[in-house]
Structure 1
């Protein structure tokens, strides 16, 4: 079903070296002896020939002499990891046979790396019964010797177990990791999603997908491919059922404000055009929101009154006063601020004073900083936003008097302690009413992370209400990025419009996706 180009693109897991003490420094701090008579470890690996003609003892000595951090304790793990990263799966098995015939024992780090190798190998070639037995034996030995597995080793075990009949053990490891406030790698979630679908347990797959997003990780192309492959097989010859299943995936991504990357987009494009026989056109949709192909407009982005109320309550409980205290403040200051907001809300615009002041200048001159802030506030007031709150810190009282008096006269001005995180106060005030906007260049990721089940609402609310200063012109006029009123994610209004990012592309604050696919039945 899948195109050769798509298969080439689906190289999702670039396995990294384990983070245990045995291989610290392998990635970023590896010191290679690059004297002329020495070979680099990459050159050494190129010398591997066949299973019976490779002198592994010689290779190990060459590697140890070429990279100073490699020693007898970690050289085996290093070889396995490097061969796996280079997708030299046959060569990795040669090395494993060498270990076995030499009666050598791999340390815990090497065993963890080996489990990841088996998972990576499984994605490109079928794992044998012998491999599965080895995986289960490794896991059994590890749990007997180390009843409490480290998060890194547990993560490796999840990868290995996911391709065995004992894949449900991964769910138990997930729960154990949560007890230690440890979050599995995104690839571990992907491994279990794939396992659940291979074993016809789609509800488990959906539960893991939801959990992955709830811990602020992004689904990979491998996740989408696992679901779509499952549904294509399950609903063969049943186009309506297949369409509903594929649309459920897109709706899930849209509801959680998830942008697809190019590889993920190709997977959806393939199933729509090949299996469902829809017509596809690559388009660019501008700020007008109109598709140049079908001439339909994107849906307007909204946060309902009920969603806003839910978000405001969650932010108050989980961020302002929650058990995960993010703000560096004191109860009295928080209480005073809440009283202030209660008396003065709602606002038309809430301004992050210091953030805005430093947005266009990189100086600490109070005169220049205060002039920037006042210029921005003047522009806001001239745009028919009458009720403006400026949040800052107490050291701003030393700024030029005329500027501070202007802010105090034309706005509500609230200064928190210099040691407090004013962003938390800013966001709470911005949630004072459904129409309130705010201005800041901060991405607010830390605050979103503290929300338990409302992250997707927060992100949508942020996209609708956040403004950002770009520059001040010579006349003092503020030029800002303003929110887009259109939904930025996959959406359906008879046709499907799906946004995506190129694989090497990132979306900056308040940018609108450039790349869209228009799909017509």
Structure 2
């Protein structure tokens, strides 16, 4: 329902969003799966899924204009959207997200901590994703520990922190976390590899991307092989993963 309505919608004003929200809630197919408690989080989740990050940001602006207080699920989905919106640029530049985005991330994180002293593992992982793109990325290490109290962190959460470590010139920490994720029988996401490639292309003195840093296919394969041999294979491949998973990464 959300996908169909958003695909055909023209959003130019707060009234447009109000009509879209109402049409989803009042849709004849809605049998209670969409409520005023979950509709905002579900709309943001769909915007992230279809990579319409601008649309999601527009929806949050609408909610703010209407003085709608974002609940825990909505804030979590918004932080996840911000992560995917900024991830590519951070990987390309090797730098944290811009100041405006960092302020949004930290504001919502503080709001969560104020209203919900104890956060569930899913919300914590969304915080990890967004916070990993900021200058406060190292706080993600404590958040991973907090997640472990009730759950096992996902590969996505680990990969985001691994990427942050490489992009912030903490190579040893990146390798340590890579080893840790494999001991949990999980494979790192491609963001980890891309961050390592970016790290290799940064001047280690000024952290600026080298102008002529262009990887050939062979060089990219060699970097991937370096990660594969250092961590994926490691001491005992059959302890860390199974042959099928190993082949997927290769």
- The CA distance in 1 between the partners of 2:236 and 2:228, in whole Å, is 18
- Change in Cα spacing, 1:166 to 1:146, as seen in structure 2 (3 Å) is same
Listed as ranges, the gaps of 5+ residues in structure 2 are 91-96, 205-209
Q: Which residue in the other structure is 1:131 paired with?
A: 101
The equivalences for 1:187-266 within 5 A come to 187-234=156-203, 247-253=225-231, 255-256=233-234
Confirm or deny: 8 A CA contact 2:185 2:240 kept in the other structure: no
Residues 238-289 of structure 1: CA deviation (Å, up to 9, x unaligned): 99xx998665313125525xxxxxxxxxxxxxxxxxxxxxxxxxxxxxxxxx
CA spacing shift, 1:455–1:77, aligned 2, 3 Å: farther
Q: 1:184 to 1:47 in 2, by over 3 A?
A: same
1:107 aligns with 2:71: yes
Q: Deviations for 1:400-437, whole angstroms, at most 9, x for unmatched residues? A: xxxxxxxxxxxxxxxxxxxxxxxxxxxxxxxxxxxxxx
Shift of residue 53, structure 1, vs aligned partner: 7.2
Selected match of 2:35 from 71, 89, 114: 71
Tell me the number of residue pairs that the alignment of Structure 1 and Structure 2 aligns: 231
Segments of structure 1 that go 5 or more residues without pairing to the other structure are 1-39, 257-453, 464-487, 490-498, 504-515, 517-521
For 1:172 and 1:203, the matched residues in 2 are separated by 17
Give the Cα separation in 2 of the matches to 1:500 and 1:134.
Answer: 40
**Partner of residue 183, structure 1:** 152
The answer to whether residue 56 in structure 2 is matched with residue 98 in structure 1 is no
**Residues of 1 paired with 2:85 and 2:181: CA distance?**
23
Q: CA 1:58 to 1:150, structure 2 compared with 1: closer, same or farther past 3 Å?
A: same
Cα drift, residue 44 of structure 1: 0.7
Q: State how far apart, in whole Å, the 2-side matches of 1:82 and 1:246 are.
A: 32
More helix, by proportion = 2
Aligned mate of 2:237, from 431, 456, 475: 456
Map Cα deviations across residues 286-316 of structure 1 (whole Å, 9 max, x no partner). Answer: xxxxxxxxxxxxxxxxxxxxxxxxxxxxxxx
Q: Residues 94 and 51 of structure 1: is their aligned pair in 2 closer, same or farther, counting only changes over 3 Å? A: farther
Tell me the CA shift for residue 128 of structure 1: 4.0
Change (3 A) 1:198 1:145: same
- Going from structure 1 to structure 2, the CA distance change for 1:254 and 1:63 (only over 3 Å counts) comes to same
Contact 2:125 2:153 (8 Å CA) reproduced: yes
Q: Please, what TM-score do these two structures have when normalized by structure 2?
A: 0.80
> Which protein is bigger by CA-based radius of gyration?
1
Aligned-residue Cα RMSD (Å) equals: 3.2
Q: Match of 2:9, SS?
A: coil
Distance in 2, Cα, partners of 1:79 & 1:181: 28
TM-score by length of 1: 0.40
Q: Higher strand proportion, which one?
A: 1
Separation in structure 1 between the aligned mates of residue 66 and residue 177 of structure 2, nearest angstrom: 41
